[in-house]
Structure 1
Amino acid sequence: MRVVLALLCAGFWTAVLAAPSTLNSTPSLNATGSNCAGINGLSPRCRPVEANHRREVFYVGGHYQLDPQTQQHFLVDQMYVEKLTPFRSPHQRYPLVFFHGGGYSGAAWLQTPDGRQGFASYFLERGYVVYLVDQVGTGRSTQADLTAYPIKGVQSAEITLRGFTRMQDYNDYPQAKLHTQWPGTGREGDSAFEALANLAIPLTTNNDRLESSMRNAGCILLSIIGKSFLISHSIGAIHPILLSDQCPDLIAGNLNLEPTTVPFESIVGGPSSPNAGRVPNRKWGLTNTPLTYLPPTTNPEDLKPVRAGPDSAARRSCLRQSEPARKLPNINKVPYVALTGEASQHAGSDHCIVEYLQQAGGKPEWIRLAQIGIHGNGHFGYLERNSEQIAKVAERWIRRHEV
């Protein structure tokens, strides 16, 4: 029997009193003129940048499982949740739930690597209650059973350089040369680079167990807090898809920054060939575990993926369903938008996600930041120098869908 574990750590509220700040302000200097960017912000002489808020901590979604060796029952599959409430009373209709990307935790939403306010503070200052989660098996949601949740580290310095902070130095895809927004040098030794490197943590490799646990814990969370907007980054975008399939009536909208849910495969690119780096993945199209399709099916092979469109390093071909395509009735109930940076590898592959949802009967939106005058962003746009511009785009989309 599934139960909900909701524990308020230490039994008190903690008020975080921060001086007023804007999301994109220059990192503070202390009284002696010392730099407070990145990890230097640890100094007690540096002013805090987070918005004023109260913080509570919970775990949800756990259930008891019998250990055959000890014959004792242990709680498993619980998800860590931080509830951040504006210091002044919240006045927005719907809360926001943030899902981090792979190899990170909910802490990624709190502040940028160069020490500015993160998305959490931006929306707190605008009156939203904010929920930050650590996906099950990761960070503060790490499970004791490493057989069920094996973990691995994936964030080497080389991956960070090539994929996130210095893409312009490589020839993996044409858009990379447009990258201009990473704060600092983007190289080892720079405070912002080291802050991002330190933010990365191991993640679980058991995608099936992860998805099942997140589907359960996420819908339990939404059943408690009510209808909410879900905001995700990268592989974290798989969780709003799962929840839209499981409990769509509890979701006001899904806003996905650079979603890593390319149908049926992962595309990691490569300098020598547009076909380099294609890895089979997400056998149910957008997920590894079953989704509700019409006509119904219990066999992912019934989706019969076929390759569509020309393929180049700048715009990748996509796998779609064979026609007539099955529909995604639950997922299609929830407004969906993908935000894509100009200089990210996603600029050449996010169309695959949008087109798959369209083929399945949905009406997804796709905001390409360069087309609305926001230039130079890589995969971590919400942490880059113009992050406030991206936050404003996200806020406008949310306002349009607050019905």
Structure 2
Amino acid sequence: MRYPTVFSALGLAGAVSAYVLPPTAAATNSSVDCTGVHAISPKCRSSETKYFRDVFYVGGRSVPSGGGNILADQVYVEKLTPTCGVKHPHPLVFFHGGAGSAVTWLNTPDNRKGFASYFIQKGYMVYLVDQIATGRSAQQDTTDFALANGTTVQVVQGGFSAPELAPTYPQATLHTQWPGTGQIGDPIFEAFAHATVPYTTSLVAGETAMRASICSMLSMVGASYLISHSSGAQYPILVSNDCPELVAGNINLEHSTQPFWNYGSTVDSGSAARAWGLANTPLTYDPPVSDPSELKVEVVGEDTLALRNCHLQAEPARKLPNIASVPYLCTTGEASVHATYDHCVIEFLKQAGGNPDWIKLADVGIHGNGHFGHLEKNNMEIAAVVEGWIKEQDAKKNL
């Protein structure tokens, strides 16, 4: 039985106005604590931008069960429409990173505007996606999917909110932009840590489900800019491979698609990953590749904690014509561990025939950011960099 590619969420798909109080003081009563999760109080005001909200489930497949068929692999999507009207030709589709969900694009842990509000206020149509088997995209086919714990609070503190306290790479000492102390027990830290959720370790099944669902979604939405964070970057890569005509641009806030390798915290450490280069599932190479063992890999550069070596294709490198045809941007924070290895993805894409843009935030005067720059104190400055790149791409297309 063939199921439709879009499922309305229990009748909630009609436009619902998300009324938010105008951003003024932190609370209607100055004695009310509106720090972190305490802002759930109705006495605390919101800084979010007003929008209309629709919700959908896209994609999916039919799976036989004892009592009939169940639907699996469907992906939860929120459609956020500016109340001021849509002013730009291409929607924006957001993909969160590992151990998170689409809420990462909404208000920040200290209750400032998130990326969604920034772009909605500018008149962009925004779509927020929960990755398969994550958040509201819960997976019913448990035989194909295994979940891991979101992450420990120690990893959150040491890797994201306060890497400067016990630096494992030199750039960590430059971290200054996290709101609050970044330490366990701080209310802003706790709001962030509580937003971590389990995620799938079934990488092949997850990529297979997402690449089908998102191309199906884009066939209805139209060509869009895909904006991702961290491990969420693997999905725009796959969609760029499968339906490049529907991707206006691939924008990555610190892409976690390092070719062929995951880095450890010490020199010359790590483990093999992403056998197809940027993904765990097949990519369309030229000359064609039927098995990833056909890709010849060499290690380039000396491995240091400040600048990791890269696992690249041995020359002559095969090309990725579909992926290379999509405009590509990566932004990297000055104090993030990604400052040590984001260059490897850029070099791999160049080998594969692409012309990727890489903006190191410090080079444009934006300093002190860790891996979650889109939640940090200067997140609106980073959003402006992304918007500037989008405008450049639209100008090239005379839009």
Classify the TM-score, shorter chain.
Answer: over 0.9
Contact 2:301–2:309 (CA under 8 A) maintained in structure 1: yes
The answer for the alignment partner of 1:171 in structure 2 is 167
Structure 2 counterpart of 1:61, one-letter code: G
Equivalent of residue 149 in structure 1, options 142, 145, 151: 145
The 2-side partners of 1:192 and 1:288 are apart by 35
- Residues in 1 aligned to 2:252 and 2:167: alpha-carbon distance in whole angstroms: 26
Which amino acid is the alignment partner of residue 284 of structure 1?
W
- The structure 1 segments of at least 4 consecutive aligned residues displaced by more than 4 Å after TM superposition are none
What are the residue-to-residue correspondences of 1:290-301 with 2, within 5 Å? 290-301=282-293
**Residue equivalent to 1:86:** 82
Q: Name the CA distance, whole Å, in 2 between partners of 1:308 and 1:154.
A: 33
Where in structure 2 are the equivalents of 1:10-49 lying within 5 Å?
10-11=11-12, 12-21=14-23, 28-49=26-47
2:333 corresponds to 1:331:
no
Kindly report which structure 2 residues correspond to 1:263-282, keeping only aligned pairs within 5 A, or say none: 263-269=259-265, 273-276=266-269, 278-282=270-274
Deviates most, 6-15 or 303-312:
6-15
CA displacement, residues 52-87 of structure 1 (integer Å, 9 cap, x when unaligned): 1010110000121223xx162111110000000011
Query: Given the alignment of the two structures, is residue 341 of structure 1 paired with residue 333 of structure 2, yes or no?
Result: yes
- CA deviation profile, 1:272-328 (whole Å, cap 9, x unmatched): x3223x121100000000000000011111111110011110000000011110000
> Structure 2, unaligned stretches of length 5 or more?
none
Q: For 1:116-127, list aligned pairs within 5 A.
A: 116-127=112-123
Offset at residue 197 of structure 1 (A): 0.5
Offset from partner CA, 1:78-128 (integer Å, 9 cap, x none): 000000001122111110000000011111100111110100000000001
Moved more, 136-145 or 310-319: 136-145
User: In the alignment, what sits opposite 1:97?
Assistant: 93
2:101·2:135 contact (CA, 8 Å) conserved in 1? Answer: yes
CA displacement at 1:148 relative to structure 2: 1.3
User: Quick one: distance in 1 between partners of 2:150 and 2:136?
Assistant: 18
Q: Secondary structure at the match of 1:307?
A: strand
Q: TM-score, normalised by structure 1?
A: 0.95
1:384 aligns with: 376
**Residues 329-369 of structure 1, C-alpha deviations (whole Å, 9 max, x = no match):** 00011000100000000001000000000011100010000
Q: Which residue of 2 aligns with 1:187?
A: 183
Partner Cα separation in structure 2 for residue 9 and residue 337 of structure 1 = 37
State the match for 1:205 in structure 2.
Answer: 201
Q: Residue 380 of structure 1: CA displacement?
A: 0.2
SS at match of 1:199: coil
Q: In the aligned structure 1, how far is the partner of 2:235 from the partner of 2:264?
A: 21
Secondary structure of 1:367's match? Answer: strand
Q: How does 1:292-371 map to 2 (within 5 A)?
A: 292-371=284-363
Give distance in 1, aligned partners of 2:30 and 2:321.
60
**Which amino acid letter does the alignment assign opposite residue 109 of structure 1?**
W
Rounded to whole Å, the distance in 2 between the matches of 1:207 and 1:170 is 31
Pair 190,139 (structure 1): closer, same or farther in 2 beyond 3 Å: same
TM-score, normalised to structure 2's length?
0.96
Question: Aligned partners of 1:400, 1:33: CA distance in 2, in Å?
Answer: 46
After superposition, the C-alpha distances for 1:19-58 in whole angstroms (9 at most, x for unaligned) are: 444xxx9x82332343323111101111122111010110
Residue 367 and residue 210 in structure 1: after superposition, are their counterparts in 2 closer, same or farther (change >3 A)? same
Q: Aligned pairs, how many? A: 393
Q: Distance in 1 between matches of 2:195 and 2:18?
A: 21
Match of 1:53 among 32, 51, 54: 51
State the 1:2 CA deviation: 5.9
One-letter amino acid of the structure 2 residue matched with residue 17 of structure 1: Y
SS at match of 2:369: coil
Q: Is the 8 A contact 2:9 2:56 kept in 1?
A: yes
Contact 1:341 1:368 in 2 (8 A): yes
Please tell me the residue identity of whatever aligns with 2:271.
V
Give the match's secondary structure for 2:347. Answer: helix
Q: Counterpart of 2:30 in structure 1: which amino acid? A: T
User: Identity across aligned pairs (percent)?
Assistant: 48
CA RMSD of aligned residues (A): 1.3
Residue type of the partner of 1:16?
A: A
Partner SS state of residue 346, structure 2: helix
Is the CA contact 1:265–1:279 (under 8 Å) kept in the aligned structure 2?
A: yes
Is the CA contact (8 Å cut-off) linking 2:276 and 2:282 kept in structure 1?
yes
Please say if residues 30 and 36 of structure 1, whose CA atoms lie closer than 8 Å, have aligned partners that are also in contact: no
Aligned to 1:160: 156
8 Å Cα contact 2:146-2:201 kept in structure 1: yes
Query: How far apart, in 2, do the equivalents of 1:226 and 1:291 lie?
Result: 22
In 2, the alpha carbon distance for the partners of 1:290 and 1:304 equals 15
